[in-house]
Amino acid sequence: MSALLRLEGINSFYGPVQVHFDLNLAVEAGQIVCLLGGNASGKSTTMKTVLGLQRPGSGRVWFDGAEITGLPTPQVIRRGIGSVPEARRLFPAMTVRENLLMGAYARSDRAAIAADEERVLGLFPRLRERLGQRAGTMSGGEQQMLAMARALMGRPKLICMDEPTMGLSPLFVDRVLELIQAINREGVTVFMVEQNASLALGIAHYGYVLQTGRIALQGPAGELLRDPRIRDAYLGGTARDGGDAG
Amino acid sequence: MSGAWFDYTVNGFVIGNIYALLAVGLALIYGVANLVNFAHGSVYVVGAYTGWAAITYLDTPLPVTLLCVIAVSALVGVGIERIGLRPLHGSSRIAPLLATIGIALVLDQVLQLLFTPDPRAVPMQVPEWRVAIGGGTIGALDLLIAGIGMISAVVLYSFLRFTKLGWAVRATAQDSDAAQQMGVDVNRVNMAVFAIASALSGVSGVLVGMYYNQISTAMSFEATLKGIVALIIGGLGNVPGAIAGSLILGLTESYGIALFGTSYRNLFAFVLLIAMLVWRPNGLFAARRSLPPEPMTGTFIARSRPVAVPRWAVAAMIAVAALLPLLDQPYLLQIGANSLMYAMLALSLTLVAGTVGQVSLGHAALLAIGGYASGLLAMDAGWPVALAIPAAGLVTAALGTLLVFPAFRLTGHYVSIATLGIGEIVALVILNWTGLTRGAIGLGGIPPLEVFGIDLGSVEGTYWLCLAVLVLLALLQLRLLRSHLGRTWRAIRDDPVAARSYGVSGDRYKALAFGFGGFAAGISGAITAHAYSYINHETFGASISILALTMVILGGLGNVLGAVLGATLLIALPEAFRFLAEYRILIYGIVLLLLIRFRPQGLMGTV
């Protein structure tokens, strides 16, 4: 069976610096797949490559059976990819409702958008209380929920999340992880980038570990959680040099 | 008396509405593209002439006239976005600003070639009745302008609030990356915004034409400036703020005229601009007082390796230049002397804009200060010319630094706008301070160049003096650039925060740069004044500031030899092709556009 999202032989560059070295990665439909790695390992660049925000030097990106390498971001989005950007990136001066409807910007089926708004608000009841409030005035956790809800409004087949738990209080981290699972249960495939390996692997089906632009490890999430190398580097096992995400 | 005040209020309100049509567009463009569009006033003139042409040749009724104006202006706006903004995606923030200056030069010159610089009268399309109210009067045109202003505001509000494209505009203004990730095509949004903004600007132009019953190609620059002032009062990118700022500006000008007379009108506008930039750079209505986080920083320095020119080659060039008078070609020498005077100005600007990264758009004001200082010292104080010139350099260094001092904490676009405003203020003070400067009459009979009895008033003499001074200034500047001071300047340009954290006080070093730059420019202005024997407040206008900037970019920002080369090429080449004289400004504009797009490092490379 072919994967929903596939990156093949990606070499990407940031100015003169090479970020990815022959990166290969696949996200199977219906799963939660996480990409782990420390700072400057190339995680965020992977996200940008998928979303068309950065063009790889070489290699190809496939989504839903078609090549999307080098497509402009708006067209990538229109093919069925939703984005929850790093640091959320809401439209702070727009209301919660306007932010949600911006998520459906690429769609024109008004009735279905209204129905989706109801469905999404059912999933995030807290947002319903705040529909008229400016997005910038909400707490970090609420903003994260809005960012996820906004991405869902595009009815994506795949949602890309860049560090969804970053900067949240522990209470909200659990809530966000539950919501990611809930989204996934509704049939949306999730590809997430995370620094917090144990949390991400706790809900994911499959995981990749990125180290200085190369896939160092991959496997089903359960196996990775038990893998001593992961535990050493990311889960605070026996201390070893180079674990920068402890 | 109260009737007169009523009239001034109506007048201020009407002018305010006209400014609002300009400023709202600037705010929209700034919002989505982070760009202060310097071609905005040119579109306003395009609108005015389109209206004039439609009425004159097609005999259109008012609504059709307005439709023509809207269509043509919107098209020009789309063109500006395609040429000035889209291809520069990924360059530094100041690059599109400079590109719009280039586009403005081109548009203005094209209009001038099409319609001649002579003013035209726009036929009145509104009944000429006036109603008396409370001692004053209101006319049909006043009501029309106010009506169009308000209708535009309502339409714009509804567009932003209730249409999908309007939402995309707001989303892009708040976070264009995030908007793209919602599927918004930012290029389309930019294009739509330029079309809307330009249509409003064009309408503003034709209304002004009717209000003053006169249009000319020269009104473009002032329109851009007034729009920018209103924009800054309201806060960059703030659309309702721009409307309020425009009304404040219109009323301030109108009451200012009432109290002090017409020639003070623009002075009020620019003093208001500088006051806002110094005390409330985010506008009257911003909640936060600090400068916005870093969206406008970044100089127009394209990293490059400067072209290495061996010492003997430089020495040979100086020798050839020194021997040029032996050819006995007075016309050639005249051009040569002119190039050398511009080269001194370019040296000064390349230091300030290139080495320190403060893109000044008012540099010609330093020439004016130097010229007036030297002229007045020689004429009124009876100083010998040979002393007056260096003294003028010192005066310019001090005064120039002092004037720009309040703007030191500003960055990026704000610096360019502030220096532009300061430049205009200097010209206006010269115009209005009649007691010292003789006002509009100008300084006539400035004594010719001489050094301790040796007459240098001849073409050869002027040329040799300019060459000697230029070589001295250039050597001094090169020496400074190689020193600790030069490194510190570049550090402040490349990363002001890092420089500050190493204990480098940016202000002091910026002051040193403006001081040295002011000295060189002041000397240039002083020599020019003695060589011309007559100067007035318009001799050193904004167009010279823009020309100097083009020279400096052509040569390579920060590059001393490049500045001299840029000045020589831009002064000498149009002379060499005399048949092109009419298209001079057009050529400058195109050169500027091509450089920004294809060779931002200039001919000699940046330093």
Last residue of a domain, one of A115, A139, A155: A155
Distance to chain A for B562, nearest Cα, Å: 27
Same domain, A71 and A106: no
Helix (H, G, I), strand (E, B) or coil at A34: strand
Instruction: Provide the shortest C-alpha distance from residue B162 to chain A (in Å).
Output: 10
List of chain A residues whose C-beta atoms are within 8 Å of the C-beta of residue B184? 74, 102, 105
> Of the candidates A154, A186, A183, A2, which has an alpha carbon nearest to the alpha carbon of residue A79?
A154
Helix (H) or strand (E) holding A66, with range, is strand A66-67
Cα distances from B443 to residues A223, B178, B384, B439, in angstroms, run 88, 57, 17, 9
Work out the pLDDT band at A235, boundaries 50, 70, 90.
Answer: low
Same domain, A44 and A116: no
Of the residues A101, A130, A155, the one at which a domain ends: A155
**Could A91 and B171 be called an inter-chain contact, meaning their C-beta atoms sit closer than 8 Å?**
yes
Q: Which of A102, A108, A110, A155 to mutate to test the interface with B (most CBs of B within 10 A)?
A: A102
CA distances from A22 to A34, A195, B18, B495 (A): 19, 22, 59, 34
- B182 vs A53, A77, A92: nearest CB: A77
Residues 6+ away with beta carbon under 8 Å from B547: B342, B570, B588
Please report residues of B whose CB lies closer than 8 A to that of A162. none
pLDDT in tens, B446-457: 999 988 888 888
A62 touches B: beta carbon within 8 Å? no
Strands A158-162 and A81-84: parallel
The whole-number pLDDT of residue B295 equals 37
Write out the residue range of the structural domain in which residue A110 sits. Answer: 88-155
Percent of chain A whose predicted confidence (pLDDT) is above 70: 94
- B161 within 8 A of B98, measured Cβ to Cβ: no
Contact B271, B252 (CB under 8 A): no
Q: Across the interface, do B174 and A94 touch by the CB < 8 Å criterion?
A: yes
The pTM for the full model equals: 0.89
Does A236 score more than 60 pLDDT? no
Going by C-beta distance under 8 Å and a sequence separation of 6 or more, which residues neighbour residue A165?
A144, A173, A176, A177, A194, A196, A199
Stretch B392-415: mean pLDDT = 90
- List beta partners, residue B443: B535
User: What integer pLDDT is reported at residue A85 of this predicted model?
Assistant: 93
Mean pLDDT (whole number) for B217-238: 92
Q: What is the ipTM of this complex?
A: 0.89
Answer whether A134 touches B (CB < 8 Å): no
Do A104 and A73 share a domain, yes or no? no
Q: Are A96 and A138 in contact (CB under 8 A)?
A: yes
Indicate which CATH number applies to the domain containing A196.
3.40.50.300
Cβ-nearest to A105 among B175, B177, B183 = B183
Residues A68 and A182 placed together within one structural domain of the fold: yes
Least CB–CB distance from A83: residue in B167, B171, B181: B181
Nearest residue, CB atoms, A77 vs list B171, B175, B183 = B183
Shared-domain flag, residues A183 and A100: no
Name the DSSP letter for residue B603: T
Asked if A89 reaches chain B (Cβ–Cβ under 8 Å), the answer is yes
The string of pLDDT tens digits covering residues B527-538 is: 999 999 999 999
Which residues in chain A are contacts of B180 at CB distance < 8 A?
53, 72-74, 77
**pLDDT band per the 50, 70, 90 thresholds, residue A246:** very low
Does B2 score more than 80 pLDDT?
no
User: Cβ separation of B168 and A92 shorter than 8 Å?
Assistant: no
A186 vs B129, more confident: A186
Q: A98 at the B interface (CB within 8 A)? A: yes
> What are the pLDDT digits (tens) for B238-258?
899 999 999 999 999 999 989
Q: Tell whether the model's pLDDT for residue B489 goes beyond 50.
A: yes
Asked if residue B245 lies in contact with residue B233, where contact means CB atoms within 8 angstroms, the answer is yes
Question: Which residues in chain B have their CB less than 8 angstroms from residue A90's CB?
Answer: 175, 178
- The minimum CA-CA distance between A125 and chain B, rounded to whole Å, is 22
Cβ contact (<8 Å) for A90 and B178?
yes
Q: Which of A180, A171, A176 is nearest to A143 (CA)?
A: A176
- If asked whether residues A200 and A212 sit together in one domain, one would say yes
A154 contacts B182? CB cut-off 8 A: yes
Query: B186 to chain A: nearest residue by CA?
Result: A74
B105-119 confidence digits (pLDDT tens): 999 999 999 998 899
| Judgement on whether residues A113 and A62 belong to the same structural domain of the protein | no
Q: Phi-psi region for residue A69, left (φ > 0), alpha (ψ -120 to 50) or beta?
A: beta
Asked whether residue A111 falls in the same domain as residue A216, the answer is no
Answer whether B170 sits within 8 Å of A103, measured CB to CB.
no
Q: How large is the average pLDDT for residues A8-22?
A: 90
* Together in a domain, A150 and A202: no
**Helix spans in chain A (H):** 43-51, 73-78, 96-103, 110-123, 125-128, 140-152, 170-185, 197-203, 221-226, 228-234
CA A18 vs. chain centroid, Å, equals 22
The size of the A-B interface in CB pairs under 8 A is 63
Q: Which two tokens stand for residue A227?
A: 């893998």
Residues of A in contact with B177 (CB under 8 A): 53, 85, 89
- A164 inside 8 A of chain B by CB: no
Distance from CA of A232 to the nearest CA of B (A): 36
**Residue bearing tokens 């009451």:** B255
Model pLDDT for residues B259-276, shown as the tens digit of each residue: 888 888 888 899 999 999
Distance from CA of A230 to the nearest CA of B (A): 32
What residues form DSSP beta bridges with A12?
A20
Spatial CB neighbours of B415, under 8 Å, sequence gap ≥ 6: B358, B359, B360, B407
CA dist B396 → A104, B67, B363, B563 (Å) = 59, 50, 11, 20
Mean pLDDT of B142-169: 93
Pairwise CB contact (< 8 Å): B181 & A91 = no
Count of domains forming chain A: 2
> In this structure, what are the phi and psi dihedrals at residue B340, rounded to the nearest 5 degrees?
-65, -40
Q: Across the interface, do A78 and B183 touch by the CB < 8 Å criterion?
A: yes
Highest-pLDDT range among A12-16, B21-25, B123-127: B21-25
pLDDT at residue B230 in the model: 95
Which amino acid, A46? T
Q: How many Å apart are CA B502 and CA B46, to the nearest integer?
A: 50
Query: Does any CB of chain B come closer than 8 Å to the CB of residue A167?
Result: no
Q: What is the per-residue pLDDT for A237? A: 44
- Residue that finishes a domain, picked among A155, A181, A208: A155
How much is the average pLDDT of B514-528? 96
CB proximity list for B492: less than 8 A, separation 6 or greater: B356, B357, B499, B504, B506, B509, B510
Helices B385-404 + B506-532 axis angle, to 10: 140
Q: By C-alpha distance, which of B206, B182, B186, B183 is closest to B194?
A: B186
**Sign of the Cα pseudo-torsion (A55, A60, A64, A68, in order):** positive
Q: With H, G, I as helix, E, B as strand and everything else as coil, classify residue B541.
A: coil
- pLDDT at residue B326 greater than cutoff 50: yes
Q: Which two tokens stand for residue B121?
A: 């009268």
Supply the mean pLDDT for chain A.
89
Whether residue B299 is predicted with pLDDT greater than 70 in this model: the reply is no
Q: Does A85 touch chain B (CB under 8 A)?
A: yes
* One domain for residues A55 and A108: no
Is B170 close to A73, i.e. CB distance below 8 A?
Answer: no
- Identify the structural domains of chain B with CATH numbers, from first to last: 2-279 (1.10.3470), 311-598 (1.10.3470)
- Whether residues A71 and A98 share a domain: the answer is no
With 60 as the cut, is the pLDDT of residue B291 above it?
A: no
Chain B interface includes A175 (CB < 8 A): no
With an 8 Å Cβ cutoff, the interface of chain B facing chain A consists of 164, 167-168, 170-171, 174-175, 177-186
Task: Tell me the C-alpha distance between B270 and B274, whole Å.
Answer: 6
The verdict on a CB contact (< 8 Å) between A102 and B182 is yes
Question: What does the DSSP 8-state code read for residue B84?
Answer: I
pLDDT at B300: 54
Instruction: Please name the member of B174, B175, B185 whose beta carbon is closest to the beta carbon of A74.
Output: B185
User: Which member of B164, B177, B182 has the closest CB to residue A103?
Assistant: B182
Identify whether residues A116 and A54 lie together within a single domain.
no
